[in-house]
Structure 1
């Protein structure tokens, strides 16, 4: 049995444990047992739940996977169940609470399909509009556009062998909204390096420039603005933008941007943390130029 220990927001540790399983498993073994140890944590982030869901789906490409969840605190278990995690990984849990509508508050772990990606984007925008009071419409539109493109990339461009997953949560007591999108496709570095001028970049170098302006795979149809303006909004909001892809991790926290080596994730993990108690001035984002948000985004189809 393989064990993954989960602890609140420790994505790097979880990715390292997952990579160990991929390295040491027998690829010809028909059945695989995975134990998820929640260590009686009071809280496990939706980010981790979405990534583990995608990882189990990866394993199921080759194995019949039996998932056992242990050391669940009672509060944590109910939350995890409501986020549909147990259903996704195939663990039976008897709920002892009444399910209430999530509209405007959260999106449980949801598989991204061609038929639902537009409604997912709409639901995410609703959360941002309702919970980030006083924010300018152009900022909401920019995030809506960017999130839509991230989700669109999952099934149109990432060449993923598994479903992509999205999860979002408003935490009123923490003044934040968390959004995570995960896929198991080619990843940003590989896709970016398909363009000749980027072909020699390392994974960390590729992630480093992926959030800069005018960086794109196809400059004829894409201005390379999506992740750049998302980064700018997050910086002014003093929130967090985190991207893991291949063997690299980019993290923007407030004004600080760093890119580091990381345990490998075949695909892309994009995580946004918006601080709902901090308003972003649109003039800082768009500047005093006559170019509108619509003009900046016009013609874009892909993020990288």
Structure 2
């Protein structure tokens, strides 16, 4: 990962944590856990809260009609429910793109909605038994030996 992409990747991870803090309205806070699975070639990180959930925030504002569609809306482009001049969504966009290229996984369960991207495909559906909060799991494929950089980064070979 190039230095520029590494910075954007960690900005996306930071945005996940920030979203939990800003949006969850959970009096219990949030929990994070992660583990390296060297044999399986994966690093997994999960964030969980007991808050109001992604769907309620988005559906209240009329951006989606169902819990799983609300999660999909939140994961698209630079969509955000943040107000005023506080930007949002851009870090998640880069994180999602990297995970897609890396053949990793991104999974979200929030109240009545389920959303997962793996292998370049998105699976979203309602949950039969709603999850009481939000859980986001990021899986990075550590066996991927390709090199990644942002499209806007200048390569040394482009200059010399």
What SS does structure 1 have at the residue aligned with 2:39?
helix
Higher RCO (Cα < 8 Å, 6 or more apart)? 2
What SS does structure 2 have at the residue aligned with 1:273?
strand
| Cα distance change, pair 145–288 in 1 and its aligned pair in 2 (3 A) | closer
Q: How far has the Cα of 1:141 moved from its partner? A: 1.7
**2:14 matches 1:148:** yes
Q: How far has the Cα of 1:223 moved from its partner? A: 4.2
Mapping 1:164-203, distance limit 5 Å? 164-195=30-61, 197-198=62-63, 200-203=64-67
Q: How far has the Cα of 1:288 moved from its partner? A: 4.7
* Residue aligning to 1:257: 122
**Distance in 2 of aligned mates of 1:216 and 1:275:** 27
Q: How far has the Cα of 1:257 moved from its partner? A: 1.0
**2:89 matches 1:221:** no
Structure 2: gaps (5+ residues): 155-160
Mapping 1:218-297, distance limit 5 Å? 218=82, 220-262=85-127, 263-278=129-144, 279-282=146-149, 286-288=150-152
Bigger proportion of residues as helix: 1
**Distance in 2 of aligned mates of 1:166 and 1:253:** 21
Q: How far has the Cα of 1:144 moved from its partner? A: 1.4
| Cα distance change, pair 151–238 in 1 and its aligned pair in 2 (3 A) | same
Aligned residues: 151
Q: Which has the larger radius of gyration?
A: 1
Between 185-194 and 264-273, the greater mean CA deviation after superposition: 185-194
Q: How far has the Cα of 1:252 moved from its partner? A: 0.5
TM-score when scaled to structure 1? Answer: 0.46
- Give yes or no for contact 1:233–1:280 (8 Å, CA) kept in 2: no
What SS does structure 2 have at the residue aligned with 1:193?
helix
Q: How far has the Cα of 1:227 moved from its partner? A: 2.0
Structure 1: gaps (5+ residues): 1-134, 291-304
- Give yes or no for contact 1:236–1:280 (8 Å, CA) kept in 2: no
**Distance in 2 of aligned mates of 1:174 and 1:158:** 32
What SS does structure 2 have at the residue aligned with 1:218?
coil
